[in-house]
Chain A
Amino acid sequence: MTKIKRHRGWGHLVTVPVAWAIVAVNVLMIVWIVLSSLKSTREMALHPWSWPKHFIWSNYRTAWVSAQFGAGVGNSLLLIIGSGLACILLAAPAAYALSRFRMRSSGLHTALFVLGLGIPAQTMFIPLYVAFDRIGLVDSVWGLMLIYTGAGIPYALFLLTAFFRSLPVELEEAAALDGAGPGYTFWRIMLPLARSGLITIFVLQAIGHWGETFFALVMLHTKTTLSLSLYNFTQTMQYTGSRYSVLFAGLVILIAPLLVLYIVLGRRIIEGISAGYSK
């Protein structure tokens, strides 16, 4: 990265502290959530900034078992892995064909897919609910997985089309000269080359669906996801009294995997999201 050398005016004396203050608030927020999850609810309210007197690890056990966060984590994991894989398995060949086959109808098909980026959940949920109700997919994790898969296709296709377009055409030609058909070329040559793009998309979809609430709330009744467990727990607190420390343990269960993923794959996530915007 080329650094721009520039005179630093007095403005920097103001702006740099402001920037770091904003950064500090964000970091403190995370620290505060983690510390709060290890206190009692009373201590949380009375001494919000102090180090916990005793680490109350049982908050996590309560959250995991009796507040159903454990079941929520299981279902949410199943949902993001299943829908992420299915979405990529469907979108990758389509994106490859649309970006590389040079068919007359490619443009039209791509446009049809991209249109889906603008379809809000509010215009989909009633027919989906009614139809799924009739075929027994309401209150089923598989039904919800199908919705996540379908709703993820436009975005995955949009990013993957750009990705395949950037791969060298010579490889396909060489493969064709060696007698490989389009299917073989795709699965054995192009798909492995696109691996980093596929991982990025899988991670982005996983992050997006990890805490998805709207469709989960519409489609599931007795089953739960992580976000539904959180929501239900806030609702029961109105009967059982505040148990914010348990709630915050739930927040940590929700946020911690994201944080770990972010620390490991941060650059990829940031670049993947900015790429989607600057195309």
Chain B
Amino acid sequence: MASAIVVGPTTEGGGTRPVGPGRRHSPFHRARRRMFVPFVYPALAVYMLIMVAPTLFTLWLSLNRWAGAGPMQWAGLHNYTAMFRDPVFRTSFVNTFWIVVGVGAAVFAIAFGMTILLQDMAGRRFARAVVFFPSLVPGIAISIMWGYLFNPDGLVNTLLADVGVHSHPEWLAQDNMFKVILIGMTWLSSGVYTVIFMAAVDRIPPELYQAAEIEGASAFQRFRYVTFPLMKDVVSVCSVLWCVGALKTFEFLLVFSAESGALPPTNIWNFAMYSYAEAFNPDGTADYGIAAACGVIVLLLTGLLMFLARRVLRRDADTY
């Protein structure tokens, strides 16, 4: 019954009728006004307590020197300058960049590719469901499996030996480990975006394709001039959410630690790992100020990337 009503024009405005002075002061509205606080503020209180207040405190903490106990010592921007001088932080910066931009580009390219591949394939529902599943699996499980696959006597080397390739690189050696991780993350994340892009493609009216067909457009041209422009909004939101998620990558790196109880080698650290290590490294002293400063950098970058991604894609959409 309800769904029959939803299909009316009311859906569009979300039931927002013109609010005249009379409506605003009706008893109906007054009763709701009284309930606004009891409805909204419990959620708001928990949210402020768990997310907003700690974030504000982290901003303050990043300007101080503190080991978690004892008095805080004002440090101004010292934490930030010390951090940028730290070579480990700079490595973390580069690695974070590779994860956000490098893996991001690969994930979006693969997702677009899969979208085209699956567009009118028989059995696409099943294919879509299968491709999507890895992204539901916790990152830590995927990375454990990934680490095993690339072990010296793991599956990858066994497979290579089966086809006669015996001279393979040492996948998990210092220099290669991070590349192996990047590939694993690409595989882990591609499914979600494939599914979202496919959903976006499904919403495109088929008449547009028929028109393109009549004009003699090739498969690539159909993608370039019909599919892609109409997916701009979705791609924009996706790139924002990708950046937000990718900046926080943690589990996937954590598992690749060389020795027990220790963190992974510093050459695969990213911001999240750096921040965690500054606060909780088992073989170092806690420096909450620097850990907080690194957290602030992640926050600022998240904000900046969200802003840029929306901006760039919006401008493109306008010129189209």
Chain A contacts to B: CB under 8 angstroms? 1-4, 6-7, 9, 11, 15-16, 18-20, 22-23, 26-27, 29-30, 32-33, 45, 48, 90-91, 93-94, 96-103, 109, 112-113, 116-131, 146-147, 149-151, 153-154, 157, 165-171, 173, 176, 181-183, 186, 193, 207, 210-214, 217-218, 227, 230-231, 234-236, 238-239, 244, 247, 251, 254-255, 258-259, 262, 266, 269-271, 273-274, 277-279
* A151 x B51 contact (CB < 8 A): yes
Query: Chain A residues near B237 (CB, 8 Å)?
Result: 277-279
* A99 x B14 contact (CB < 8 A): yes
Contact of B49 among A4, A91, A150, A239 (CB under 8 A): A150
* A214 x B39 contact (CB < 8 A): no
Query: Chain B residues near A170 (CB, 8 Å)?
Result: 5, 10
- Which of the 9-residue segments B77-85, B99-107, B138-146, B311-319 touches chain A? B138-146
* A45 x B251 contact (CB < 8 A): no
Nearest residue, chain B, Cβ from A183: B35
* B234 x A278 contact (CB < 8 A): yes
Query: Chain B residues near A274 (CB, 8 Å)?
Result: 195-196, 199
Contact of A166 among B11, B139, B192, B219 (CB under 8 A): B11
What is the size, in residues, of chain B's interface with A at 8 Å between Cβ atoms? 110
Nearest residue, chain B, Cβ from A109: B40
Nearest residue, chain B, Cβ from A27: B130
Contact of A121 among B6, B195, B248, B259 (CB under 8 A): B248
Query: Chain A residues near B29 (CB, 8 Å)?
Result: 102
* A96 x B39 contact (CB < 8 A): yes
Decide yes or no: A23 and B131 within 8 Å by CB, A101-B33, A236-B260, A274-B195 being known contacts: yes
Enumerate B171-206 residues with CB–CB distance to A below 8 Å: 192, 195-196, 199-200, 202, 206
* B244 x A127 contact (CB < 8 A): no
Enumerate B246-271 residues with CB–CB distance to A below 8 Å: 247-248, 250-251, 254-255, 257, 259-261, 271
Nearest residue, chain B, Cβ from A162: B14
Contact of A126 among B192, B291, B303 (CB under 8 A): B291
Count how many pairs of residues, one from A and one from B, have CB atoms less than 8 Å apart in the complex: 300
Contact of A4 among B19, B61, B209 (CB under 8 A): B209
Enumerate B64-123 residues with CB–CB distance to A below 8 Å: 68, 114, 116-118, 120-121
* B137 x A211 contact (CB < 8 A): yes
> Would you mind naming 7 contact pairs between A and B with Cβ atoms under 8 Å apart?
A119-B55, A122-B272, A123-B59, A125-B279, A170-B10, A183-B35, A214-B251
Query: Chain A residues near B199 (CB, 8 Å)?
Result: 270-271, 274, 278
* A151 x B50 contact (CB < 8 A): yes
CA distance A150 to B292 in the complex (A): 20
Minimum CB–CB distance from B186 to chain A (whole Å) comes to 12
Query: Chain B residues near A255 (CB, 8 Å)?
Result: 137, 141
Query: Chain A residues near B8 (CB, 8 Å)?
Result: 168
| B241 within 8 Å of A (CB atoms) | yes
Query: Chain B residues near A48 (CB, 8 Å)?
Result: 155, 158
Query: Chain A residues near B57 (CB, 8 Å)?
Result: 126-127
CA distance A101 to B251 in the complex (A): 41
* B50 x A244 contact (CB < 8 A): no
Minimum CB–CB distance from B59 to chain A (whole Å) comes to 8
Nearest residue, chain B, Cβ from A180: B31
* A2 x B206 contact (CB < 8 A): yes
Enumerate B14-59 residues with CB–CB distance to A below 8 Å: 14-17, 19, 28-29, 31-33, 35-36, 38-40, 42-44, 46-47, 49-55, 57-59
* A231 x B255 contact (CB < 8 A): yes
Query: Chain A residues near B117 (CB, 8 Å)?
Result: 15-16, 18-19
Query: Chain B residues near A113 (CB, 8 Å)?
Result: 43-44, 47
* A149 x B39 contact (CB < 8 A): no
| B63 within 8 Å of A (CB atoms) | no
| B163 within 8 Å of A (CB atoms) | no
Query: Chain B residues near A183 (CB, 8 Å)?
Result: 35
Contact of B209 among A6, A130, A168 (CB under 8 A): A6
* B121 x A16 contact (CB < 8 A): yes
* A19 x B114 contact (CB < 8 A): yes
* A26 x B250 contact (CB < 8 A): no
* A122 x B271 contact (CB < 8 A): yes
Question: Binary interface profile of B, 153-181, with partner A (CB < 8 Å = 1, else 0)?
Answer: 11100100000000000000000000000
